[in-house]
Amino acid sequence: MESKNYTCPVCKGKDLFLKHEASYIYSYVLDSDAPGIKNTEIFSPFLYDRRDQTSSYEYVECNSCKTKFPCDLLQKAIDDTGQMTM
């Protein structure tokens, strides 16, 4: 399988990252032991009772110039040469 190296249209850098940012609300049931039904000994924040995602955002970021490109443009932006055309 052939690998493609994509380049940034702004600075021509080759260090591109696909990033996913998300925000969540974590809920813990208040009881007599510790916050959360799953926290019986000590409070561990990763033992939440409910997690609701409130927002998310995916983008491609150039590590060289820090320019961010929305992922919805990704399909349209990459041509056969491996160059992102914006």
Bridge partners (DSSP) of residue 19 are 59
Q: What confidence category does residue 6 fall into, taking pLDDT thresholds of 50, 70 and 90?
A: confident
Residue that the structure tokens 């490109």 belong to: 69
Number of domains in the chain: 1
> Does 8 reside within a domain?
no
Residue 28 lies in a domain: yes
pTM, rounded to two decimals: 0.58
Six-digit token pair at 58?
Answer: 């995916």
Domain that residue 40 falls in: 16-77
Question: How many whole angstroms separate alpha carbon 52 and alpha carbon 60?
Answer: 25
Residue 67 and residue 11: Cα distance in Å, rounded? 9
Cα 2 from Cα 49, distance rounded (Å): 45
Residue 3, in any domain of the structure = no
Position 9 scores a pLDDT of: 87
7, part of any domain:
no
5, pLDDT greater than 70:
yes
pLDDT tens, 34-66? 667 777 777 777 888 899 999 999 999 999 999
